[in-house]
Amino acid sequence: MVNRAAISMLSILLLSGCSLLPTKIVNEIGMIQGVGYDLADEGGVMGTVVFPIIKKDQPSNTEIKSSIGQSSKEIRTNINNESQIRLVSGQLRFALYGKELAENGINDFIDTLNRDPSIGSLVQLAIVDGNTKELLNLNKYKKENISIYLQELLDQNMESGQLPHTNLQTFLFQLFQIGQDPYLPIVKNVNGSIKITGMAIFNYDKYITSIPMEDIYIFKSLVDNNTGDGFQRFTFENGDKVVLETLYSNPQYKVKIVQGKPEFTINLKMRTKLQEFSSSKRKRQSFNKKNYQKEIEQQIEKKADKIITQLKEEKVDPLGLGVKYKEHYRKFNKEQWETYYPNVNVSVKVNLEIQQTGTID
């Protein structure tokens, strides 16, 4: 026989249970969607958070608050102390780091993201050439959610543009992998608009050097297996210009060990589509695919050699040559590899195919 007292107690719990449990009502908390960090003039770090304000029967708007602290947790506590709603990080979309801060190392700020179980591993990271607080407060983006804009800007340029794929998960993997250094996109305030201006290359967690936008096309081809890299223009000595859309690229690394020292050959296979051909002769002519393919292959090889020389001079290894050496040499020693790296022999061989040419002006 069912106990009436038990039924009564169960009814009370069901009716009032919602008030017994902690709640997270959307208009009572601030879901942080973006963060930015800069070195502060007064010492410490200037942190900036972006979160939407949602009110019943009203359109939502985005609020941006900043504070100085010694850590990201202290910064958030300071901002919470002057906010009408509690801030939480369950919707974080991006984290930005000022260039000056990144030159001193960002591991502490990456680590706090990694340790927060409410933060997903696909959060986008970027370096700001300038001040992150100023960038997040640009007037142009006051009427839209800058968190969504920045995330979509980076995602789109990785999926269909020239940026190599990277995010929090990728950065952490490269950070702790012996034989490879991380890389992140660089964004900048250019005349009041946010622009992607290059790739930041790290030595462990410290920003060391950068790859400019005109060379990112080559850099991505060396680090990613790609389907669709966007467009690239090539100019020739006679004044002719060609614009190619990359349909596919695949770098294959071969390692040869000579007396314990590695030598690398990168065979880069690329399949492209001709989008534009402009002749310096200013008259209609057929596109000589064979000749232009050869010249473009040589241009890509020359640019790739230039990038690799820069990376070796700066002693950073975003291509992961150390990882590939370690995979082929059982006696791999990290310290010894670091002495080899600046003078290691790396040869790039490009095999380019241009499809769908026809007769084009």
Residue 92 domain-assigned?
yes
Residue 25 has pLDDT above 70, yes or no: no
- Per-residue pLDDT, 28: 67
56 & 178 share domain: yes
CA distance 172 to 125: 11
For residue range 320-329, list pLDDT tens digits in order: 999 999 999 9
The three state secondary structure string of 173-212 is HHHHCCCCCCEEEEEEEECCEEEEEEEEEEECCEEEEEEE
The mean per-residue pLDDT over the stretch 89-100 comes to 93
pLDDT band at 237 (very low <50, low <70, confident <90, very high): confident
Residue 6 lies in a domain: no
Residue 86 pLDDT exceeds 80: yes
**pLDDT tier for residue 279 given thresholds of 50, 70 and 90:** confident
Same domain, 151 and 178: yes
Per the structure, the count of domains in the chain is 2
What is the mean pLDDT of the segment spanning 183-187?
98
Give the mean pLDDT of 162-184.
Answer: 95
- 278 in the same domain as 149: no
pLDDT of 18 > 80? The answer is no
List CB contacts of 85: < 8 A, sequence separation 6 or more: 27, 28, 29, 30, 53
Q: Is residue 46 part of a domain?
A: yes
Q: Indicate if the pLDDT at residue 133 is higher than 80.
A: yes
| pLDDT band per the 50, 70, 90 thresholds, residue 285 | low
Whether 202 and 312 share a structural domain: no
115 plus 257 within the same structural domain? no
Domain boundary among 167, 186, 212: 212
Whether residue 270 sits in one domain with residue 124:
no
Quote the longest CA-to-CA distance of the chain: 100
6 CB-contact burial (10 Å; exposed 0-12 / middle 13-18 / buried 19+): exposed
**Confidence at residue 357, expressed as pLDDT on a 0 to 100 scale:** 62
User: Closest by alpha carbon to 189, among 131, 244, 143, 242?
Assistant: 131
Neighbouring CB atoms inside 10 A of 46's CB total 21
Q: Is residue 4 part of a domain?
A: no
CA-to-CA distance for 157 and 350, rounded, in angstroms?
Answer: 24
Judged by average pLDDT, the poorest of 17-26, 29-38, 150-159, 351-360 is: 17-26
The terminus-to-terminus CA distance of the chain in angstroms comes to: 92
Please give the model's pTM, rounded to 2 decimal places.
0.87
Average pLDDT over residues 288-314: 94
Q: Is residue 289 part of a domain?
A: yes
Letter string b/e over residues 239-276, b meaning 16 or more CB atoms within 10 A of that residue's CB? ebebebbbbebebebeeeeeeeebebebebebebebee
- Output the pLDDT for position 170: 96
Q: Is the pLDDT of residue 201 over 80?
A: yes
DSSP one-letter string for 101-141: HHHT--HHHHHHHHH-TTS-TT-EEEEESS-HHHHHT-GGG
Q: Are residues 101 and 195 in the same domain?
A: yes
* Tokens representing residue 206 in the block: 């410290």
Q: What angle do CA 144, 230, 284 make, to 5 degrees?
A: 125
What CATH number is attached to the domain comprising 286? Answer: 3.30.300.210
- Averaged pLDDT for residues 81-106: 90
Position 211 scores a pLDDT of 97
Note down the domain range covering 33: 25-212
Q: What is the mean pLDDT of residues 326-348?
A: 95
User: Do 149 and 259 belong together in one domain?
Assistant: no
Structural domain contains residue 286:
yes
Is 171 found in the same domain as 203?
yes
Q: Is the pLDDT of residue 108 over 80?
A: yes
Claim to verify: residue 168 and residue 238 sit in the same structural domain = no
Q: Could you tell me which residue, 46 or 160, shows the higher pLDDT?
A: 46
258 located within any domain: yes
Residue 115 carries which side chain, given as an amino acid letter? Answer: R
Among 11-25, 113-127, 194-208, the minimum mean pLDDT is found in 11-25
When pLDDT is averaged across residues 251-279 and rounded to a whole number, the result is 93
Taking residues 179-207, report their average pLDDT. 97
Distance, C-alpha 225 to centroid of its chain: 16
The verdict on residue 361 lying in a domain is yes
Percent of the chain with pLDDT over 90: 61
pLDDT above 80 for 27: no
pLDDT band of 15, cuts 50, 70, 90:
very low
Length in residues, the chain = 361
Whether 254 and 317 share a structural domain: yes
Same domain flag for 71 and 156: yes
Phi, psi (rounded to 5 degrees) for 23: -115, 155
Write down which residue in 181, 212, 243 finishes a domain: 212
Among residues 212, 233, 250, the one where a domain terminates is 212
Is the predicted pLDDT of residue 17 greater than 60, yes or no? no
For residues 303 and 268, is the Cβ–Cβ distance under 8 A? no
Do 175 and 205 form a contact (C-beta atoms < 8 A)? yes
Question: By mean pLDDT, which of 153-157, 189-193, 239-243 is the weakest?
Answer: 239-243
- From 310, 301, 338, select the one nearest 322 (Cα to Cα): 338
